[in-house]
Structure 1
Amino acid sequence: MSGADRRVLDEAGGLRAMTWVMAIMLFLTILAAALGLGTRQSARALERQLAGRLTVQVVEGSPVVRDALAARTLAVLRALPDVRRATAVDRAELARLLEPWLGSAGADTDLPVPAMIDVDLASGADPDRIVAAVRRIGPASRVDRHQRWMSPVSGFLDTLTWLALGLVVLMLTATAAVVVLAARAGLETHRATIEVMHMLGSTDVQVARLFQRRIALDAAIGGAAGSAAALAMLVFLGTRLAALGSELLGGITLGAGDWAVLVLLPVAFVVLAMAAARMTIVGALRQSL
């Protein structure tokens, strides 16, 4: 932008405020987009994990019968081609899981705790065949599908993803509205100067280009500042999530494609600001001048 162009627009305080507005808008937009992308990745990881896992429970009051049925069930499961791995859950591990509710009584050998077997399915396996095979062993066995009882969590993550997408669209709309207001304010501030430029032969497109360049500069500076702050916040939140050690929250990660989308958001904002400014100024000039 030339010195003459800057002098035409430097008095437009509304345009200078665009730097701060764009920084705030882009900061919030990148955080919302990161939330949506992260929860989408987490939902996909959860679906992959749960779709291939089952838990078999052998419910029997007699410990001797229970252990015999559990051993037989484990042998049948390991022989099935649909099963990649079947592992009996150690009773000490079950007692540890029950300790918050039962206390030391969970370790009592006489306590009728069901035997449990974790099953990892092979690729393309049919869970119904495994359920049928387990039920043929005896009515004391039941199969729990992880995907079924974790579906509310997956649905909640999908809801968060769509909510984040809605926030991004809302922020884009709000940014375009702010640019329109700033462009109209600059147009009113410099109306006398624009009339002189028209008398000297300047076209509406040439005048609009001045505003477009200035708004693009403000949007670029504000976008860079907002993006840097948002990315720094994401890195900080990522380290905190990793420190939690939670498998579910640890799945909220961003892939290379997700980071590329976040990096391209500032460019999209600048293009949006330029387009909104150009259409606003050209439209207003054609109507009033």
Structure 2
Amino acid sequence: MNDRTPTPPSNVKSQSQPAKQQARRVSMQVRPTAPILPPSNIQGNALMVVIAIMAFLACLTLGAVSMIRATAASWQSQISREVTIQIKPDDNVNMDQALTRAKDLALSFVGTKSGQIVDEAATARLLEPWLGTGLDIKDLPVPRLVIITIDESHPPDFAAMRDLLSTQIPQATLDDHRNWVDKLVSMARTTVLIGFGVLILVFTAMILTVIFATRGALSGNRHIIEVLHFVGAESQFVAREFQKHFLKISLKGAGAGGFMAAAFFAFASFLQDNTLATPQTDQATALFGRFEIGLSGYMGIFATMIVIALLTTLTARLTVISAIYDIDQIRSDPSRSSGLPPD
């Protein structure tokens, strides 16, 4: 009996061959695809700087509008909670009695809280910026004031109070500051409209810049896009690649601009807190209020950054789709690609 090694059946060999090919295919590493656009180039860096500048201006405008609105609201609240009674000097009138009488008449109305007579020393301090120190109020025909604090939610009848004061004390006049309040409200609304106008201009300039930058990137990579189209790549795929590219650029630029704006307001607030005793800071505080935008202001800056990034991404996507559509139109019309008039 001969010792012979048994040969495997042919069907076993045919079954092992696909298994080896499958194992070889699994062991192969798939090479990652490179992006259509390079992650960093001169055009991308320039666009990032432009977006950072636009984001800084937009966030600065938003913070300034928020700060001015808060200051105007504070002024309006301070003015609307008080009314002033002015009594002109007269030789036939006892000023002290007239001041006390005017205060009592005003406090007799529902909606008034308290009254304060501005004494001679306080009146002299009010006139120091114009007339200097060492004044004798009795020697000057200076009106005297009575300040009445009112309930803002339920104010008194100012018309009836004005008529009663003019009847009982002819030299007295009532100033309810309605004119100043109306001017402040009008100023705040105008400031808000101007701020929104500046924001619209900034966003428009940014969108136009992104359109030009996207078309420039398309022009530089047009041959790649045509090759991708030729091998069957859809326009949505190319648009997503450009969208990712410009999203990264816009996030970096908007983040840098928003951070600079937030740092500016934080530094201005810190500087104001440490120089409160100086006359310059006091005047700036009285005119512009506190250089603080609060949590809502910083949230607004963050929201502006997100809006800028989304606008940039959406603009890039729409621009790419429109440019690819033009490429398809040129390819489908030979006369346009050759420059010849159509038959």
Q: When the two structures are superposed, what TM-score results if normalisation uses the length of structure 1?
A: 0.90
CA shift for structure 1 position 5: 4.3
Question: In structure 1, how many angstroms separate the alpha carbons of the residues matched to 2:32 and 2:93?
Answer: 92
Secondary structure of 1:109 counterpart: helix
For residues 5 and 174 of structure 1, do their structure 2 counterparts lie closer, same or farther at Cα, with a shift above 3 Å needed?
farther
CA shift for structure 1 position 202: 0.8
Once the two structures are superposed, residues 269-288 of structure 1 have per-residue CA deviations (whole angstroms, 9 ceiling, x without a partner) of: 11101100000000110122
User: In the alignment, which residue of structure 2 is the partner of 1:257?
Assistant: 296
Question: In structure 2, how many angstroms separate the alpha carbons of the residues matched to 1:251 and 1:135?
Answer: 40
Secondary structure of 1:86 counterpart: strand
Percent identity between the aligned chains?
A: 25
* Aligned match for 1:270, one of 309, 325, 342: 309
C-alpha contact 2:120 2:137 (8 A) present in aligned 1: no
User: In the alignment, which residue of structure 1 is the partner of 2:81?
Assistant: 52
Question: In the alignment, is residue 167 of structure 1 matched against residue 198 of structure 2?
Answer: yes
User: In the alignment, which residue of structure 2 is the partner of 1:145?
Assistant: 176
C-alpha contact 1:184 1:281 (8 A) present in aligned 2: yes
Question: In structure 1, how many angstroms separate the alpha carbons of the residues matched to 2:254 and 2:43?
Answer: 17
Letter in 1 for 2:101: R
User: In the alignment, which residue of structure 2 is the partner of 1:43?
Assistant: 72
User: In the alignment, which residue of structure 1 is the partner of 2:245?
Assistant: 214
Secondary structure of 1:113 counterpart: coil
Question: In the alignment, is residue 182 of structure 1 matched against residue 213 of structure 2?
Answer: yes
Once the two structures are superposed, residues 208-265 of structure 1 have per-residue CA deviations (whole angstroms, 9 ceiling, x without a partner) of: 1111100000111111111111111111223345532334422564243333221111
Letter in 2 for 1:281: V
CA shift for structure 1 position 149: 3.9
User: In the alignment, which residue of structure 2 is the partner of 1:135?
Assistant: 166
Matched residue count: 288
CA shift for structure 1 position 3: 6.4
User: In the alignment, which residue of structure 1 is the partner of 2:127?
Assistant: 98
User: In the alignment, which residue of structure 2 is the partner of 1:286?
Assistant: 325
* Aligned match for 2:63, one of 21, 24, 34: 34
Secondary structure of 2:35 counterpart: helix
C-alpha contact 1:184 1:280 (8 A) present in aligned 2: yes
Q: Where do 5+ consecutive residues of structure 1 fail to align?
A: none
For residues 149 and 267 of structure 1, do their structure 2 counterparts lie closer, same or farther at Cα, with a shift above 3 Å needed?
closer
User: In the alignment, which residue of structure 1 is the partner of 2:154?
Assistant: 124
Letter in 2 for 1:124: H
Question: In structure 2, how many angstroms separate the alpha carbons of the residues matched to 1:170 and 1:105?
Answer: 54
Letter in 1 for 2:154: G
Question: In structure 2, how many angstroms separate the alpha carbons of the residues matched to 1:7 and 1:211?
Answer: 8
Question: In structure 2, how many angstroms separate the alpha carbons of the residues matched to 1:67 and 1:4?
Answer: 91
Give the structure with higher Rg (CA): 2
Q: Which has the higher helix share?
A: 1
For residues 211 and 60 of structure 1, do their structure 2 counterparts lie closer, same or farther at Cα, with a shift above 3 Å needed?
same
User: In the alignment, which residue of structure 1 is the partner of 2:233?
Assistant: 202
CA shift for structure 1 position 9: 3.3
Secondary structure of 1:6 counterpart: coil
User: In the alignment, which residue of structure 2 is the partner of 1:62?
Assistant: 91
State which drifts further: 51-60 or 148-157: 148-157
Q: Where do 5+ consecutive residues of structure 2 fail to align?
A: 1-30, 329-343
* Aligned match for 2:47, one of 18, 30, 41: 18
Secondary structure of 1:55 counterpart: strand
